[in-house]
Amino acid sequence: MFILITHHLLYNEFIEFTEKEAHAFKSGYETIMSIPHLEEYRQPYRYLYRLLSVQGNVELKKWLSHPSYF
């Protein structure tokens, strides 16, 4: 279950949320459960998603420096 939640949250980081939208998503999510600590998983997931071209062909530095909302 933790892996599924972590995947879902890390994937949603790459949706083009505004800061306001990210806050609304986080608030809604937290009505069900706490957001897990993602720091140790963030970089490997970002690198993997970049290799899989999840958002198309994005420059690696830009991809890895995407803002973290959760």
Residue 70 inside a domain? The answer is: no
- What is the domain count for the chain? 1
Rounded mean pLDDT, 23-47: 86
- Domain region containing 22: 2-64
**What amino acid is encoded at 70 in this protein?**
F
**What amino acid is encoded at 59 in this protein?**
E
Residue 54 inside a domain? The answer is: yes
State residue 10's pLDDT score: 63
Residue 69 inside a domain? The answer is: no
- Dihedral (CA of 40, 48, 50, 32) sign: negative
Give per-residue pLDDT as tens, 36-66: 888 888 888 888 888 887 777 888 888 888 7
First to last CA, the chain: 18
